[in-house]
A and B are shown apart, each in its own frame.
Chain A
Amino acid sequence: MEFEAVIGLEVHTQLLTESKIFCGCSTKFGAPPNHHTCPVCTGMPGSLPVLNRRVVEFALRLALAVGARINPVCVFARKHYFYPDLPKNYQISQYEAPIAEGGAIEIEVDGQRKSIGLVRIHMEEDAGKLVHDEKRPVSYVDFNRTGVPLLEIVSEPDIRSPEEAVAYLKKLRTIVRYLGICDGNMEEGSLRCDANVSVRPKGSQEFGTKVELKNMNSFRHVERALKYEIKRQIGLLLEGKEVVQETRLFDEAKGVTHSMRGKEEAHDYRYFPDPDLVPVKIDPEWIEKVRSELPELPDAKKQRFIEEYGLPTYDAEILTVSRPLAEFFEECVKLFPQPKKVSNWLMTEVLRELNREGKEIDETNLKPEHIAELLKLVEDGVVSITAAKKIFPEVYATGRNPKELVEEKGLRQESDEGALEAICREVLSENPAEVEKYKSGKKGVIGFFVGQVMKKTRGKANPKLVNQILTRLLEA
């Protein structure tokens, strides 16, 4: 029997606000434990939460970007459970009336386009951080992260494979980065993903028993965890066993999922509207204001790159994954109006350096002027493409002017036609036997002459020009 997987994802994105969702404590990462806390975020009796306006604005940006319906009135609810990372013993979240419902994210896997529906987007507060002691039976609690704003994005169970799940996550990450609402760093936990997975006979309309997967903190882990879990569930069904509804944790070292027992009964959250917070009303003017400030989104930008710059789909896709990279590309093209040449350089030389360092282009010393100048030097025959590639890592690392580096390293090509012709004549007169070979039809020997000229100029001659001159002299 053939099976198919049914996957829905719950993604939490940490918002890039300065202050927490319900108090003025800083959201900055890396402070010593409990240095960014106050009576509100630690849940002291008598304290009163007040909503950060920017959280609503960020949620509206995302809702508009994915075409979700924005609820005219939304409310906060208390979600109750006991855990030491939750000082109030409830998390302020949204339940009945979230800020937005519906919408979709478009993905592409192996050239197949697909739309993954969204159930809802809601605002909530993050919990604290627990550190477990290696030796003693204690855990340390740090509430700095408590109250950092999150958006939870819940997808429909429209995803059918681990590859689609990763494509969905990558697309969502690209969108939140474009919108400037989340840095999308999975390893650092600013974008987190849980998955609901079940399997069923292919073609069936019924859902199988679902398992919730947690603890997948990179795209690769998501893919591995889902692959393992799907295989595990299919194995159970083939043996005539049942899948148990439960929460499982991914063990990245072993590449398997383990049952996380004991949390089952805790799924009785007793939600009710939070009396400390008044409803949020979102009028059409507010929505229009946010809409008018939205940046061009990844899909639109990709399409424009294809049409406006005549780039292949592949190039447009890669260049628009990151908004700073896309903007960098456009700046380069303004200075050096040959889009495909700029694209080639960015996708090879530049991305190699960026990937090596794990940086965005706007975090480096590289400026569009550098790329434009380098490409112009190649275009004008001042340096060979090989020499340009050779000096690029130094331009990238130091932000130094490429022209200066070319001079300093003596990489300038000899492109003076008169000087090169003299050398070519010299080479020909020194090698009469080879000249005879050429004249008798062995045209391939021209490579030998070019080589000799390069040798005499210690590699600095412009090979294209040398070739032209030699051909002219030999054919004369």
Chain B
Amino acid sequence: MAISREEVQHVAHLARLEFSEAELERFTQELSKILDYMEKLSELDTSGVEPTYHALNLANRFREDEVRPSFPPEEILSNAPQKEGTSFVVPRVIK
């Protein structure tokens, strides 16, 4: 197995996902197969090859430092489950 059940659980927790026992079992199997398959790439000798950071062969796409109008706050807030004034409201996160 390229990945343990505990690792799958850990990654799921980092992504705030919850899985049943059966799902955990299945994903451990499936992810292991995927990782084994990707491991094939390690057979290639890539020494001396520049790392690829991006799929597009582009660099230096900039915007100038100019202020553009922001969105109306009510539009930004339109999907918020809870809001007050122009603030998003969330369960208290400290203390």
A-side interface residues toward B, CB under 8 Å? 17-19, 23-26, 32-39, 42, 50-56, 73, 75, 80, 82-84, 97, 130-133, 136-143, 268, 270, 273, 275, 278-281
With contact pairs A34-B77, A132-B94 given, residues A50 and B62 touching in the complex (Cβ less than 8 Å) = yes
What's the minimum C-beta distance from A17 to chain B, rounded to whole angstroms? 5
Contact with A24, one of B16, B68, B87, B91 (Cβ below 8 angstroms) = B68
Q: Which residues of B contact A36 (CB under 8 A)?
A: 70
B contact residues vs A (CB 8 Å cutoff): 10, 14, 16, 53-56, 58-71, 73, 76-77, 82, 84-95
Tell me, in angstroms, the Cα distance from A36 to B65 when the chains sit together. 15
Q: Are A73 and B59 in contact (CB under 8 A)?
A: yes
Chain A residues with Cβ under 8 A from B16's Cβ?
82
28 residue pairs A–B, Cβ–Cβ below 8 Å = A18-B65, A18-B66, A19-B65, A19-B67, A24-B66, A25-B70, A26-B70, A33-B73, A33-B85, A34-B73, A34-B88, A37-B76, A38-B76, A50-B62, A50-B63, A52-B64, A53-B63, A75-B54, A82-B16, A131-B87, A137-B91, A139-B90, A140-B84, A141-B87, A273-B53, A278-B60, A279-B54, A281-B60
| A37 adjacent to B91 (CB under 8 Å) | no
- Closest residue of chain A to B89 (Cβ to Cβ) is A138
Whether B65 lies near A139 (C-beta < 8 A) is: no
Within 8 Å by CB of A275, from B55, B64, B66, lies B55
B93 touches A52 (CB 8 A): no
Q: Which residue of chain B has its CB nearest to the CB of A27? A: B67
* Contact call A84/B62, Cβ cutoff below 8 A: no
Q: Identify the closest chain B residue to A283 (Cβ).
A: B60
Apart from A33-B86, A37-B71, A141-B88: 9 A-B pairs, beta carbons within 8 A? A38-B76, A53-B63, A56-B62, A73-B59, A84-B93, A137-B91, A141-B89, A270-B14, A273-B54
Q: Are B67 and A138 in contact (CB under 8 A)?
A: no
Q: Is the CB of B53 within 8 A of A138?
A: no
Contacts of A268 in B (CB 8 A): 10, 14
Which residues of the partner chain B approach A32 to less than 8 Å between Cβ atoms? 73, 85-86
Chain B residues with Cβ below 8 Å from A84 are 88, 90, 93
In the complex where A139-B92, A141-B88 touch, is A280 in contact with B59 (Cβ < 8 A)?
A: yes
Residues of B within 8 A of A75 (CB): 53-54
Beyond A18-B66, A25-B70, is A137–B92 a contact (Cβ under 8 Å)? Answer: yes
A279: chain B residues at CB < 8 Å are 53-54, 59
Complex Cα–Cα for A281 and B92 (A): 42
CB-defined contacts of B84 to chain A, threshold 8 Å: 140
| A51 engages B63 (CB within 8 Å) | yes
